[in-house]
Amino acid sequence: MTAAKENTQTMSTGQKISNALSDRRVHLAGFGVGILLIAIAPYLGLYPIYLMKLLCFALFAFAFNLLLGFVGLLSFGHAAFFGMASYISAHTIKVWGFTPELGVAAGTLVACVLGLAFGSLAIRQRGIYFAMITLALAQMVYFFALQAPFTHGEDGIQGVPRGELFGFIDLSQTMNLYYFVMAVFILGFFIIYRAIHSPFGQILKAVRENESRVTSLGYNVTALKVGAFTLSATITGLAGATKAVVFQSATLTDVHWSMSGEVVLMTLLGGMGTVLGPLFGAGIIVTLQDYLAGMGSWVTVITGTIFVVCVLTFRRGVVGELTRMLRIHS
Amino acid sequence: MTGSDYVLEAEGLTKQFRGFYAVNGVNLKVRRGSIHALIGPNGAGKTTVFNLLTKFLDPTSGRILYNGEDITRSGSAAIARKGMVRSFQISAVFPQLTTLENVRVALQQPTGLTHKFWKAEKVLDSMNEQAMGLLEAVGLQDFARVHAGELPYGRKRSLEIATTLALDPEFMLLDEPTAGMAHEDVSRISALIKRVSKDRTILLVEHNLSVVSDLSDTITVLQRGEILVEGDYETLTNNPDVREAYMGTGHA
Ligand SMILES: Nc1ncnc2c1ncn2[C@@H]1O[C@H](COP(=O)(O)OP(=O)(O)O)[C@@H](O)[C@H]1O
Ligand SMILES: [Mg+2]
């Protein structure tokens, strides 16, 4: 290797250090702005219900991206956690009289346990086999939801009271509900962000890049992956349980395999493996669904087409392509 | 005669791939504190032996003892934690992590920090000094913040050795550590292996015969999955079988 080449590499070393520093600062500033935007969005003419739906799905996509983007695992059964948590949250609030935060916690907990079980069963499978096993397990949950008495089959659980948060904050007030959902979203987002940027996340990234090498360094890769799967399922549950409070219902849609597909779509559209990609992906899908709501099954066709076009033209997703363009121009 | 003299003893080690014996009845003893080379033509089964010893492959038959303990049924990660750590023939770095982070992945393993998903990764900065020391040992200190994927091939191999060394293994298995390296890199790595062998045992697959003769206390020649002969460099060069089977094929 020539001396000149060494030189350019050393120079880029200094550059990289300053990049890393500014990265951290940019993230912090970004979070501040993001939280502010979410807080004032309802006053900018956006419907709170639309925003809350968006936040729930964005959280779902964040949780999914933790697995797909940072561990390289494609689950095709995440609807099971999303839907089951929403049933549990709806049931415990409506029938058992839980306060909203307890109902959401119960749903999240069930998703966590389910995630641990499914993760342990599926994790030894690779690639497409992993996706198939998670799909099969999720289909079992779907049939359970179809048959179990408390889920009310085709009708689902309807008319869930929004109740009072901690027993004294009235969530039937839309803005109270909105800030509750925002708080849940921020909590979930920070857990995922922290997990990605933790000693645990560091090894997950290593697993994504070279699993055998991680094993050869003495790590129990299976346990690490089950851990990541469980964490992802738990946050997915948090999103599903919260959605049940927002829409005051839990239905088969949330546990259907097409919901598992939707979150894959959101993550890929937004840019998998990017921190903010899933938010944009969820934004695109939720907005499309709202705009095209009157068009029936055409919604599926149109989102499908957009997906195909996106995959063909910008594979890294919206955020992935944007960061790449910024890098090229800087 | 067991345990203390030999770090590793493999008896009747055999691996069959669909009726084909990649490794066949190999008896291998690696003396504690030695540098032991495993040589042989391409396809002789050297990498497969590594995969068997570190349990990346299950042997069809045979027994493996590490420090006298039967590890034939142990898992790869458990074996690594016992102090027997391998490198890979095909460069095994984490391309999207920086060189420093690559080494830290190994340093992190014994710390018990790994399951802590709620801690900021800043806690890992406490390992930077140690990681830099390891990078210096392999001449990579100027590349600490470079993504491993951007390193030239020879430097990737150096990084891999630094990462392996980070675990301070009692027994280190290196699969062709100098393959594809420029001449000056080869001598640096060879010197490094010699230096770090002071307080550990090394099993080495190596094609470069000058490196082998420089470093090895014992050499085992593998051919078509079986041991052809074993001894020191002197013995081997005088062995007609070896000359014909190995050195005659132009590897020297
Ligand atoms: N996973 C595998 N499946 C089938 N054959 C294999 C596998 N791994 C290695 N082999 C075969 O075993 C033989 C020995 O390979 P290897 O151990 O890589 O040789 P070496 O490292 O000495 O060059 C080769 O013929 C190779 O094709
Ligand atoms: Mg080999």
User: What are the pLDDT digits (tens) for A255-265?
Assistant: 899 888 889 88
Residue A286 lies in a domain: no
% of chain B beyond a pLDDT of 90: 62
Q: Give CA–CA dist A233/B130, Å, rounded.
A: 36
Which two tokens mark A146? 């179809």
Between A and B, how many CB-CB pairs are < 8 A?
121
> Quick one: pLDDT band at residue A65, thresholds 50, 70, 90?
very high
Residue A210 lies in a domain: yes
Return the residue matching tokens 């929403």.
A86
B47, B104, B109, B114, best to mutate vs chain A, most A CBs in 10 Å:
B114
Cβ neighbours around B148 below 10 Å, total: 26
Return the residue matching tokens 């779509």.
A265
Mean pLDDT of the region B101-120 = 89
Residue to mutate (ligand 1; options B38, B48, B226; most atoms within 8 A of CB):
B48
Mean pLDDT of the region B72-89 = 94
* Kind plus residue range of the DSSP H or E element containing B235: helix B233-237
Q: Give CA–CA dist A178/A173, Å, rounded.
A: 9
Closest C-alpha residue for ligand 1 atom 16: B45
| CB nearest to A210's CB, from B94, B144, B167 | B94
Which two tokens mark B128? 């930077």
Residue A75 has pLDDT above 70, yes or no: yes
Return the residue matching tokens 């509900």.
A177
* Ligand 1 lined by B45 (C-beta under 6 Å): yes
**Cβ(B45)–Cβ(B224) below 8 Å:** yes
Q: pLDDT (tens digit, 9 = 90+) per residue, B222-249? A: 999 999 888 888 888 888 877 776 655 4
| DSSP alpha helix (H) spans, chain A | 3-40, 48-68, 79-94, 100-122, 127-147, 174-196, 199-209, 211-216, 221-247, 257-270, 277-291, 298-313, 317-329
Task: Test A17 with B145 for CB contact under 8 angstroms.
Answer: yes
Residue A327 lies in a domain: no
> Residue A24's beta-bridge partner residues?
none
Residue A262 lies in a domain: no
Residue A272 has pLDDT above 90, yes or no: no
* Kind plus residue range of the DSSP H or E element containing B13: strand B6-17
Pick the residue from chain A with its C-alpha nearest to B142. Answer: A10
Pick the residue from chain A with its C-alpha nearest to B57. Answer: A212
Residue A149 lies in a domain: yes
Residue A284 lies in a domain: no
Q: Which amino acid is at A281?
A: G
Task: Test A216 with B143 for CB contact under 8 angstroms.
Answer: no
Mean pLDDT of the region B200-205 = 95
The pTM of the full predicted model, rounded to 2 decimals, is: 0.87
Residue A116 lies in a domain: yes
CA atoms within 13 A on the CB side of B53: 33
pLDDT value of residue A3: 40
Which two tokens mark B98? 């920086």
Dihedral pair phi/psi, residue A244, rounded to 5°: -60, -35
Return the ligand number nearest the Cα of B223.
1
**Does ipTM come in above 0.85?**
yes
pLDDT value of residue A22: 56
Distance B45 CA to ligand 1 centre (A): 6
Residue that wins the pLDDT comparison between A17 and A230: A230
Task: Test B121 with A224 for CB contact under 8 angstroms.
Answer: no
Return the residue matching tokens 């470069």.
B208
Q: How many domains does chain A have?
A: 1
Task: Test A218 with B104 for CB contact under 8 angstroms.
Answer: no
Which two tokens mark B216? 């090895």
Task: Test A217 with B167 for CB contact under 8 angstroms.
Answer: yes
Cβ neighbours around A130 below 10 Å, total: 20
Residue A131 lies in a domain: yes
* Ligand 1 lined by B4 (C-beta under 6 Å): no
Closest ligand 1 atom to Cα of B44: 22
What range does the domain containing A63 cover?
48-257
Rounded to a whole number of angstroms, the distance from the CA of A45 to the nearest CA of chain B is 36
Q: Give CA–CA dist A71/A225, Å, rounded.
A: 7
Distance A51 CA to ligand 1 centre (A): 57
% of chain A beyond a pLDDT of 90: 46
Dihedral pair phi/psi, residue B98, rounded to 5°: -75, 165
Residue to mutate (ligand 1; options B16, B21, B47; most atoms within 8 A of CB):
B47
pLDDT value of residue A314: 73
Residue A199 has pLDDT above 90, yes or no: yes
Contacts of A8 in chain B (CB under 8 A): none
